[in-house]
Structure 1
């Protein structure tokens, strides 16, 4: 697909050096980038959190609601990614929709700002989860050693990605097949050893009071969004996708139901093997689940699978996020040094190293509340703004008529906005306040920079 003329980037200079990454990622590479991002450490550590937030069969409703919200939001991403297939996609979406020289500059900067906050937390959480499950195999690991392992994993992934992206695509596809097969084995094991008595006890639990139910449903939906998160990773790599008008929507919309079925199967089978109160208190619920079925050998095998999944998830998230400072630098809204490409490999160098190192530093911080803060920051900074971006872009006369258009428009947008507002409204006040302060801080930094540069909104007539 050809992007809008104003967004086209020459791929080489007059000297023959590359100025933009080549389009080398196909559908399977894009799908694997999404799936590996989605099947990370998330569900393996958040199932107990969900059971604690909303005890009883209603927790399954929260997982379904989260999947449905992500599917509606996935239609938003699919349309935007097809219309504007550039690396660091969301940065371009909001700039084009809200005006490159006016409000789009503010929204573009805020997206960059939240990425600088969210990227280290997202990558770091996957790496810390890797270290925590590794501690299941090595119980003697001290907390500081777990932090060191997580930080080392971030630096190792940075070195691994310091190469042409085509080779990483082959690796990600191979690992995706391995991880999906292993997860299917875990779910199938639960089906074969499903105890209807345990499941019946769980399904017959009493309903909570309505006030607690609505707050708990919001908490579980937030957890589900975190676990399903990653279906948009292909949009970060839009400028490196082949046939992006076709492959970006397919990668987004195939990955969501694929992973949703897997996660729901995992939740249901766990509750048919472990008593729900045991699962709610577990620190390594899938390991305990497999140990109940196969003993020590089963739990060890499951932990190895989870280690591979969490490592691969941290890898592809780093790959996607490392393109955002690069894109912003090319757009003149970040330090120019972040716009450098490797002269032979044609991949962002400074941007990759920066995100990798800050992610390693994030592993040294306590991450208990960061899942909620991470999601709320993304909702308040980006997800709601992108829903309206689809509306504005559809009204433009230069809209590509061959780009993907979501079915039932604008219903998916209405559902997405309502869902995001519900998650914010049911969030813990301290988490919402943290997101609001981050949004305010980013706006202040933008205004200070704009005033210093005498650009919008301080441009003199």
Structure 2
């Protein structure tokens, strides 16, 4: 290990784009459209909700593309929150993200991957202890692969992204090739409760935008992307654009294969859609696809998440060992180990149900930081008007303002859901705990920084954050 060893810029624009797509396309697209259809009330409104969600995602892509070029270093999102709102905000974000959001997602996604592999191979889910053991082994294996070198993690990401997109396009192809009369025969008679159209779309946007989320993770990899001022914006815009197009296509396919009521009433949406044409092998094929997609998301968590811990440690606000980079591998091995260990501890202590409840509450909290990051470009432009901005996206400041307002609207919409509101108490407690930890360790640093030369500015010859 070596404290001053910089992260290596080994990721191309294609690799970074795969990180964006892989972080967004998880297992949600195989299930979430059912909830969206039920809330929207009609086929047309369901597609409209996905279209509006895609538009908001593109606004976010433009906003984050400019921010990514502004802070092209490891853990860039942490730097943005720190410089825009103060050190406490950045600290709380990283601690909550690492100990709850990322660790919880890593654990749950590992369980989803194991369950679907078991269904694909044996036709049934394994026992709880065997499932837990396999999930822990999977987390350790992926962590070791990412510790071995950033190229290993990138290769896994690239491969799983290809499989994910191929699977979703295959679902669309099935819908295109199937006969309309055959599709109508499989539509169910489920009739969900109807909301007012405006209320239905507003409610449906919550699960829609949660399914679109994840492109911010490439900002955490800014220290390892070649020519980041150019490649980070390209990867974010290209990745989000691809996902929006594929999501719109696959949602049309679901509705074409099952009808609106069939989609709204399905508990195994992708499997039900494929079973319309391929009843025998379709379900196992989808189980394989979900397992691969979950594996890709698991890899994305352990590829990107440790860079936030690394950035916080290099900034002098976390244990110094987490800011170290392996001398020969060029990876933040201690940070990767801590995130993997946190996921395993959550799995063992809380169990699958407990971790899932934690994530339900933290999702709302994570949305707050998402909105804050989007609005950070406005705050930084005001506080540091003369700071160099390598990329200026069209529509500033309207685009980031619209994105921030949209995300705040999603937070309000989520809060109106009693299930999410109850679980949000867990997330609020997590934030309070992180803030108390900050007050204990860095009470004098709670006040915002005095405006001056932008702290986002890169130090000459430095590829990492300066401690």
TM range (shorter): 0.7 to 0.9
Q: Deviations over 1:267-288 (max 9, x none)?
A: 2211222254444444432122
Is 2:104 aligned against 1:121?
yes
2:94 to 105, 112, 116: 112
- Measure how far apart 1:369 and its partner are: 4.6
- Equivalent in the alignment of 2:7: 21
Q: Deviations over 1:294-313 (max 9, x none)?
A: 23223323322222121012
**1:233–1:140 CA distance, 2 compared to 1 (3 A):** closer
- Measure how far apart 1:456 and its partner are: 4.3
After superposition, residues 280-319 of structure 1 pair within 5 angstroms as: 280-319=264-303
Is 2:71 aligned against 1:81?
no
After superposition, residues 156-305 of structure 1 pair within 5 angstroms as: 156-193=141-178, 195=180, 198=184, 208-210=194-196, 213=197, 216-305=200-289
Q: Deviations over 1:387-413 (max 9, x none)?
A: 332023224255224x11121111112
Q: Does structure 1 retain, via aligned residues, the 8 Å contact 2:94–2:308?
A: yes
Q: Counterpart of 1:242 in 2: which secondary structure?
A: coil
- Measure how far apart 1:372 and its partner are: 4.1
Report the RMSD for the aligned CA atoms in angstroms: 3.0
- Equivalent in the alignment of 2:27: 41
- Measure how far apart 1:133 and its partner are: 2.4
- Equivalent in the alignment of 1:97: 84
- Measure how far apart 1:371 and its partner are: 5.3
Distance 2:12 2:78 in 1: 22
**1:94–1:209 CA distance, 2 compared to 1 (3 A):** closer
- For this pair of structures, how many residues does the alignment match? 434
- Equivalent in the alignment of 1:406: 393
Listed as ranges, the gaps of 5+ residues in structure 2 are 450-467
Q: Counterpart of 1:443 in 2: which secondary structure?
A: helix
Q: Counterpart of 1:296 in 2: which secondary structure?
A: coil
- Measure how far apart 1:438 and its partner are: 3.2
- Equivalent in the alignment of 1:30: 16
Is 2:29 aligned against 1:60?
no
Deviating more after overlay: 356-365 vs 183-192: 356-365
Q: Does structure 2 retain, via aligned residues, the 8 Å contact 1:450–1:458?
A: no
2:367 to 379, 382, 392: 379
Q: Deviations over 1:198-234 (max 9, x none)?
A: 49989xx899343xx5554344322222222222222
**1:424–1:268 CA distance, 2 compared to 1 (3 A):** same
